[in-house]
């Protein structure tokens, strides 16, 4: 199994976390951002969008789009608790995974993380950051209610929904922003911190992304 994508990409982190949770052997190549390599003919033949990650699993064709890769790995290598065979139970996992991707990741990465980390301090828009943080917190209120009633986002067990949601929490809790108290979310994050694949693939330095004056 081969993955193309730099370790500081949040999408690559989600994928590598999934691979780690499934106990799969994998070789990862740094591609994208300062490493380049995602505009070569060879890479574009695998993913014409020129984006990471890309996964090659044995004789299978290359797969791109993080959510699609995670669902593929879950279906092929996951057990019943990680990726249920029952249609209704699996739909619940997929529903929360999509919710996290569309509402949480997109509400954090560009509107907040890019403005705080990938923008020079002198160019930061404090009002825009505060507004985006407040908007994200409203979404996190949904997670707070869910996690107050369940140990994981889709219910009783760790699933791809937690990967799609949890992979941004390290940066969310690490960067310098105002965060309202969310006890259930904070307890959930503490549980994620106990997972070795999370520490290995998500809780990594993003200093190479930081823009300074």
Give the domain-ending residue among 51, 77, 103.
77
Do 128 and 40 share a structural domain? Answer: no
Q: Which domain holds residue 19?
A: 2-77
Do 181 and 98 share a structural domain? Answer: yes
Do 130 and 172 share a structural domain? Answer: yes
What would the pLDDT profile of 91-150 be if each residue is shown by its tens digit? Answer: 999 999 999 999 999 999 999 999 999 999 999 999 999 999 999 999 999 999 999 999
What would the pLDDT profile of 26-48 be if each residue is shown by its tens digit? Answer: 999 999 999 999 999 999 999 99
Q: Let me know if residue 209 belongs to a domain.
A: no
Do 109 and 9 share a structural domain? Answer: no
Do 161 and 140 share a structural domain? Answer: yes
Do 165 and 97 share a structural domain? Answer: yes
Task: Quote the number of domains for the chain.
Answer: 2
pLDDT at position 46, please?
98
**How far is Cα 196 from Cα 68, in angstroms, rounded to an integer?**
24
Q: Let me know if residue 58 belongs to a domain.
A: yes
> Tokens 């890479």 sit at which residue?
43
Do 91 and 23 share a structural domain? Answer: no
Q: In which band, very low, low, confident or very high, does the pLDDT at 204 lie, cut at 50, 70 and 90?
A: very high
pLDDT at position 195, please?
98
pLDDT at position 119, please?
97
What would the pLDDT profile of 45-101 be if each residue is shown by its tens digit? Answer: 999 999 999 999 999 999 999 999 999 999 999 999 999 999 999 999 999 999 999
Taking a C-beta distance cutoff of 8 angstroms, is the pair 12, 53 a contact? yes
**How far is Cα 121 from Cα 62, in angstroms, rounded to an integer?**
39
Residues ≥6 apart with Cβ < 8 Å to 4: 28, 29, 31, 37, 38, 43, 46, 52, 53, 54, 55
Do 156 and 72 share a structural domain? Answer: no
Do 133 and 151 share a structural domain? Answer: yes
Query: Global pTM?
Result: 0.97
Taking a C-beta distance cutoff of 8 angstroms, is the pair 184, 148 a contact? yes
Q: Which residues does residue 29 pair with via DSSP β-bridges, in sequence order?
A: 4
Do 100 and 66 share a structural domain? Answer: no
Residue 138 belongs to domain with CATH number: 1.20.1050.10
Do 69 and 46 share a structural domain? Answer: yes
Q: Let me know if residue 10 belongs to a domain.
A: yes
Residues ≥6 apart with Cβ < 8 Å to 147: 153, 184, 185, 187, 188
* Total Cβ atoms within 10 A of residue 35: 15
**How far is Cα 85 from Cα 91, in angstroms, rounded to an integer?**
10
Residue 43 belongs to domain with CATH number: 3.40.30.10
Rounded average pLDDT over 8-12? 98
**How far is Cα 58 from Cα 56, in angstroms, rounded to an integer?**
6
Percent of the chain topping pLDDT 90: 100
pLDDT at position 154, please?
98
Do 96 and 7 share a structural domain? Answer: no
Give the domain-ending residue among 77, 112, 140.
77
Q: In which band, very low, low, confident or very high, does the pLDDT at 211 lie, cut at 50, 70 and 90?
A: very high
pLDDT at position 125, please?
97
């Amino acid at each position: 199994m081969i993955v193309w994508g730099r370790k500081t990409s949040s999408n690559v982190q989600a994928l590598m976390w999934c691979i780690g949770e499934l106990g799969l052997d994998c070789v990862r190549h740094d591609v994208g951002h300062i490493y380049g390599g995602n505009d070569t003919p060879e890479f574009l033949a695998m993913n014409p969008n020129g984006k990471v990650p890309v996964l090659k699993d044995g004789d299978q064709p290359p797969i791109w789009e993080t959510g699609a890769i995670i669902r593929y790995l879950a279906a092929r290598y996951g057990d019943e608790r990680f990726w249920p065979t029952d249609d209704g139970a699996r739909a619940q996992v997929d529903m929360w995974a999509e919710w996290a991707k569309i509402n949480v990741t997109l509400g954090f990465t560009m509107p907040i993380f890019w403005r705080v980390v990938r923008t020079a301090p002198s160019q930061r828009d404090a009002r825009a950051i505060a507004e985006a943080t407040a908007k994200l917190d409203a979404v996190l209120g949904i997670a707070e209610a869910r996690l107050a009633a369940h140990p994981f986002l889709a219910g009783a067990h760790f699933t791809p929904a937690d990967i799609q949601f949890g992979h941004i929490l390290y940066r969310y809790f690490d960067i310098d922003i105002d965060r309202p108290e969310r006890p259930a979310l904070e307890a959930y994050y503490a549980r994620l911190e106990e997972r070795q694949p999370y520490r290995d693939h998500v809780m990594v330095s993003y200093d190479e992304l930081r823009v300074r004056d």
